[in-house]
Amino acid sequence: MHPAPSVILFTTLSGLGFGLLTFLGIGYPGVTGWVAFVFYAIAYALAVGGLLASTFHLGRPERALKAFSQWRSSWLSREGLCAVAALLIMGLFAIGAIFLERDWRLLGLLGAGLSLATVFTTSMIYTQLKTIPRWNMALTPVVFLSFSISGGALLAGQESLSIWLLLAAGAVQLAYWAKGDKAFAASGTTIKTATGLGGEGTVRAFEPPHTGSNYLLREFVHVVGRKHAQKLRVIALLLGFGLPIVFLVLPVESSLVKHLMAAFAVLSHMVGAAVSRWLFFAQAEHVVGLYYGKR
């Protein structure tokens, strides 16, 4: 699949933003006043920024509001509704925390649940696609949720907890790659099932329909960059999980250095998560490539 920067930005940033909102909603940290303002500003910048970035890949962004209508069948529609609901509920909760020094527990829990539901519905947009075997796995939502929760814990300053969550997310990432590498073969879809030709013999794409490229090839067949996949996986693991854990466990005395270390951990994790998300798209192979003799 074509790794569109807008979609990579959207899923990475909004995943982190909703992860942070989840922790704020359940009261870790239970902040109020100006401190709360800073936390909520970061969370909303990430979540809303990501959502806005996602509209950049639309052919007709001015009609985006219509995407809220089909929640009964469409995961994309459900994602939109969950995101708006989470942002509204958490907005109310944030007003309580920042301006009124109030902790509306039920509202916070509801907002946390909706934030996680947003990440889950995002992941289901990809998971539901049988045409892309690497995404069509139960592990895909686990990847999205574990990234969001561990990144959220990191941003929320839950140091000891985030070490364990980062370790878990790294393990999920490794399992996802291991299973994903076998997914296309396991799907049973081949050029023979695609064409119905060949019987006991072999089938090979001989001539494409056009000498030039087309929408399908640009969107679904992304071969460039895959050759560096193994190196990028190592980079994603090191930056996304390894370094942040190192930054967190380093024994430091001064609180300034401690904050600096936390900032490094967050930045490193964000870059690692973006690399992982780039691979998520770049390595995903759509079955339509079979018709073109390409993956």
Give the footprint of other proteins on this chain (CB under 8 A): 1, 57-61, 63-64, 66-70, 72-77, 80, 125, 128-132, 187-189, 191, 193-210, 212-216, 219-220, 286-288, 291-292
Question: Looking at beta carbons only, is 200 or 253 nearer to other proteins?
Answer: 200
Question: Looking at beta carbons only, is 134 or 269 nearer to other proteins?
Answer: 134
Question: Looking at beta carbons only, is 216 or 246 nearer to other proteins?
Answer: 216
**Residue given tokens 């989840």 in the structure block:** 22
| Whether 53 contacts 15, CB under 8 Å | no
Short-list 138, 144, 104, CA closest to 120: 144
- Token duo for residue 101: 């020094």
Question: Looking at beta carbons only, is 218 or 259 nearer to other proteins?
Answer: 218
- Name the minimum Å distance from CB 282 to other proteins: 15
- Token duo for residue 205: 């794409």
| Whether 15 contacts 122, CB under 8 Å | yes
Question: Looking at beta carbons only, is 86 or 262 nearer to other proteins?
Answer: 86
- Name the minimum Å distance from CB 137 to other proteins: 16
- Name the minimum Å distance from CB 78 to other proteins: 9
Question: Looking at beta carbons only, is 94 or 287 nearer to other proteins?
Answer: 287
Question: Looking at beta carbons only, is 2 or 258 nearer to other proteins?
Answer: 2
CA distances from residue 72 to 69, 123, 172 in whole angstroms, order as listed: 8, 17, 30
CA distance 198 to 196: 7
Side-chain-side CA neighbours of 31 within 13 Å: the count stands at 20
- Name the minimum Å distance from CB 288 to other proteins: 4
Q: Residue 201, SS3?
A: coil
- Name the minimum Å distance from CB 12 to other proteins: 19
Phi-psi map region of 27: left, alpha, beta (phi>0 left; psi -120 to 50 alpha):
left
CA distance 199 to 217: 27
- Name the minimum Å distance from CB 56 to other proteins: 11
- Name the minimum Å distance from CB 216 to other proteins: 5
- Name the minimum Å distance from CB 119 to other proteins: 17
For residue 24, give the amino acid letter. L
CA distance 80 to 64: 10
Question: Looking at beta carbons only, is 33 or 198 nearer to other proteins?
Answer: 198
Short-list 27, 64, 54, CA closest to 277: 54
Q: Where are the alpha helices (DSSP H) in 100-181?
A: 105-127, 139-155, 159-180
CA distance 129 to 116: 21
